[in-house]
A and B are shown apart, each in its own frame.
Chain A
Amino acid sequence: MELLFALVIGTLTASGVYLLLRARTFPVVMGLTLLSYGVNLFLFASGRLSTAQQPILGTAENYSDPLPQALVLTAIVIGFAMTAFVVVLSLRNLADNEDDHVDGCPPAHPANSKQEQEETGK
């Protein structure tokens, strides 16, 4: 279970970071969401992975720690609000700049535009 859990967190975080570094707002928002999923699972794991344990001290040899679940719940609520805000902001960016590039407009690459011209010219 530990390996599977770690792999899931790793994949989510890696994909999140990759998407975050994209130049368009939609992948960035998706990246932030995936990153927060990864982080939430990570927080959950900080209370150790155990099944069928009681959350009360002294009732059993091993206990399952309830506190990380409270932390995760808080983090989920905050993450949800932040995602909503960033979605609205991205839409605003799209409307204001008529482009969904994270810098408002894509940087002008003389080499690229020349190439494009040549391609479209042919």
Chain B
Amino acid sequence: MNHWLIAPIAIPLLGGILQTFMGYAPISLRRTLAITTSVLVLVASIVLVGLADDGSYRVYAFGNWQPPFGIVLVLDRLAALMLVLTSVLAVFAHIFSIGGADEGNRQFHTLFLFQIMGLNIAFLTGDLFNLFVAFEVLLIASYSLLMHGGGTIRTVPGLHYVALNLVGSAIFLIAVGMIYSVTGTLNMADLAVKIPQVSGENLALVKAGAMLLLVVFGLKAAILPLCFWLPKAYAKATAPVAALFAIMTKVGVYAIIRVYVLIFGEGAGELASAGMNWLFPLALITLSMGVIGALGANNLKTLIAWQVIISVGTLLAPVALGSEAGVSAALFYLLSTTWTVAGLFLVAELVAIQRGSAGDRIVTAPKMPHRTFISVLFMIGAVSAAGLPPLSGFFGKVLILKSVEAGPQMAWLWSVLLVGSFLTLIAYSRAGSILFWRTIDGHIKPPEPMKGVVSVSTGALIGLTVLIVAFAGPINEYTVATAAQLFDTSAYTQILETPMFGGKN
């Protein structure tokens, strides 16, 4: 058993508990400890990527219970990739928050760290019920983070978000109950073995469970009929929180990839690809919907919140086609889009601070200070998000386009994705030109000087898109290997045979 697996969960847990009791300590001490914790999580994630890169599965069985009887954490390439994605994002969002966004609530850092912990549990767990628990941990932290900063504007979107997700949790439990009642197990590896053996009248029950799970993951990922809560909630959240939330929809995408490749994948007999033929059209409609929203957005944060929905549609379309190349391309795009969108949320906050009362509304206003720096960051982010060369969004989209086989699905995906990207570009150019070029004469109250941590973290997060291009080769090799590992489900189920007692692996 490898004890590194517990590190990405234990570090933020301990750091968060420490923060809980430090509410009245000087803020500089709290900030130092909080950032240290985030950085330690990043270090642990990088160690785990190094471990996972050899292509084997590592299991951490709590209490040394032999799976499938106990809860296990499973580390594979996908989990490690998601951990790094999250912790890099979290570190920069966290650094941004110490620029002043963490004031006003003594427990901001606690909640932030618990949010990271919930995300890490969700990525590492190998148990369906534990995935539910992970969702609840990250959700309850996100409920409070969403309300951070106070003000009446956040109450109503927060209430909608909480009520919707509570219903989502109820549906998750029903789905888990249905699947458990037939298979008698919730361990993912064991489910992958047991689901193909389901027959007769039980098939319908498990299929209903699978579809309900898709609804829950769809709600988390914000695919079309379940996405209307997102723009309001994300646009109203404090900037570092909105940046961190860029990963929240990706948890839904991750769960869909994990569950529908491993458990209801091609090897699932009668239940193979249950619900996946629904997902492809839904993903494309989500993408179109996001583009329409982005075109109609009247402030920058709403525009970027719709970009989150566009990303989800773009990610799920190749995943729904169920090919190895599609999943690999989606994972590459996942890295690029998550960091870029999070960076754009931070840029929007910089714009809002600099423009005084005009805020981030897309209207003409007097020239803002630091115009060059902010506009360059915005341009890099927008180019990457819209998918223009030479930045990483372009490579992600090219990989997705290349991954589909010729046929009607290819025609649909190519046309929707390309037209969508073009219209997204229009939305960004409109916003950018109004915000940065079409200025009017006038006087705005000079804002406080931009803090170093704020500009550095925003620049770094946006700059990651350039880094992805520079290391596109190794990253692509990694995602290809990840997809290959994912589709080789027989290797995953081997963890059931790993002896736990005194076993070393």
Q: Which residues of A contact B (CB under 8 A)?
A: 20, 25, 28, 32, 35-36, 39-40, 42-43, 45-48, 65, 67-68, 71, 74-75, 78-79, 81-82, 85-86, 89-90, 92-93, 96-97, 102-104
Instruction: For the complex, give the distance between the alpha carbons of A104 and B158 in Å.
Output: 11
Known A-B contacts A43-B177, A46-B177, A89-B155; A32 and B166 likewise in contact (beta carbons under 8 Å): yes
B180 partner residues in chain A, CB cutoff 8 A:
46-47, 67-68, 71
Q: Contact between A96 and B163 (Cβ–Cβ < 8 Å)? A: no
Instruction: For the complex, give the distance between the alpha carbons of A35 and B156 in Å.
Output: 22
- The main secondary structure of chain B at its interface with chain A is helix
Report the interface size for chain B: residues with CB under 8 A from the other chain. 27
Instruction: For the complex, give the distance between the alpha carbons of A46 and B173 in Å.
Output: 11
Q: Contact between B167 and A32 (Cβ–Cβ < 8 Å)? A: yes
Q: Contact between A42 and B159 (Cβ–Cβ < 8 Å)? A: no
Among B133, B169, B173, max chain A CB count under 10 A is at B173
Instruction: For the complex, give the distance between the alpha carbons of A93 and B160 in Å.
Output: 11
Q: Contact between B170 and A39 (Cβ–Cβ < 8 Å)? A: yes
Q: Contact between A35 and B167 (Cβ–Cβ < 8 Å)? A: yes
Instruction: For the complex, give the distance between the alpha carbons of A39 and B177 in Å.
Output: 9
B176 partner residues in chain A, CB cutoff 8 A:
43, 71
B9 within 8 A of A: no
Q: Contact between B169 and A74 (Cβ–Cβ < 8 Å)? A: no
- The main secondary structure of chain A at its interface with chain B is helix
Query: Which 9 pairs across A and B sit closest by C-beta, in order of nearness?
Result: A46-B181, A46-B177, A96-B152, A104-B156, A43-B177, A39-B173, A39-B170, A96-B155, A78-B136
Instruction: For the complex, give the distance between the alpha carbons of A75 and B23 in Å.
Output: 29
B129 partner residues in chain A, CB cutoff 8 A:
71, 74
Residues 474-496 of chain B, each 1 if its beta carbon lies under 8 Å from chain A, else 0 = 00000000000000000000000
B272 within 8 A of A: no
B174 within 8 A of A: yes
Known A-B contacts A43-B177, A46-B178, A71-B129; A86 and B166 likewise in contact (beta carbons under 8 Å): yes
Q: Contact between B163 and A86 (Cβ–Cβ < 8 Å)? A: yes
Q: Determine the residue in chain B with the shortest Cβ distance to A33.
A: B166
Q: Contact between B173 and A75 (Cβ–Cβ < 8 Å)? A: yes
B143 within 8 A of A: yes
B144 partner residues in chain A, CB cutoff 8 A:
85
B140 partner residues in chain A, CB cutoff 8 A:
81-82, 85
Min CB gap A24→B, angstroms: 12
Q: Contact between A78 and B133 (Cβ–Cβ < 8 Å)? A: yes
B162 within 8 A of A: yes
Known A-B contacts A46-B178, A78-B136, A82-B140; A89 and B158 likewise in contact (beta carbons under 8 Å): yes
Min CB gap A65→B, angstroms: 8
Instruction: For the complex, give the distance between the alpha carbons of A93 and B292 in Å.
Output: 30
Report 10 cross-chain contacts, Cβ distance below 8 Å, ordered by A residue.
Answer: A20-B163, A39-B173, A45-B177, A67-B180, A78-B136, A86-B163, A89-B143, A89-B162, A102-B156, A104-B156
